[in-house]
Amino acid sequence: METIIGYIVTFGLGILIASMYLFKKDKPSLLPVSEQTYPGLILTILIKKKKRKISEIVLQLKALKEPLTIGKILLEFTDKNHEKTIADMNSYLNFSNKPLDLLPGEIVQLSLDFREFIGLLDNTDFSYDRFRIMAASTEGKIFKSHELGYLPRWGLFKKDSGKYN
């Protein structure tokens, strides 16, 4: 009798663990790629994964002490010679021509489908080695993310300098 109860408890625990794993596996998760803190703004780049694949890139903006107005979202490409080319991302992010007003402590998230973003990267007329996502305020301040890179095998990642010690 005691062995039957032991088997029932073990089987019940197995079902519970399997259901928790399946629930967590299908749940979309936000993972940080880059976070830059400036005196007036925190700019964070997140990736949203669904079923272990990147589905969206999320740009998160948070004003710190004073209200801030963001006028443009830009993409800065850098080639191997460190020459920079800037592209406008407002139309891809469904970011209208109206400036985005941020109140202190308010968090705004702008998302972009990952396939559209890869299409934007692939359709550039110039070669690039890395890129940054930038937010430009109406006052002329520019807030940049870390340098990011894209490889089809690894996805979106933060580039390092390649130089150690």
Please give the domain boundaries of the chain with CATH numbers for all domains.
Answer: 28-158 (2.60.40)
Question: What tokens does 134 get?
Answer: 């930038």
Biggest distance spanned by C-alpha atoms of the chain: 77
pLDDT digits (tens, 9 = 90+) for 52-85: 788 888 889 998 888 888 888 888 888 888 888 8
Phi and psi of 158, rounded to 5°? Answer: -85, 125
**Cβ neighbours of 79 (radius 10 Å):** 13
Q: Which two tokens stand for residue 125?
A: 């007329």
- Write down the pTM of the prediction: 0.74
Q: Provide the phi-psi class of 16: left if phi over 0, else alpha when psi is between -120 and 50, else beta.
A: alpha
**CA distances in angstroms from 135 to 67, 105, 163, listed in the order given:** 15, 17, 28
Map tokens 């109860």 to a residue.
5
- Residues near 60 by Cβ (< 8 Å), separated by ≥ 6? 42, 43, 44, 45, 46, 107, 108, 109, 110
pLDDT tens-digit series, residues 85-135: 888 877 777 666 678 888 888 898 888 888 888 888 887 777 787 888 898
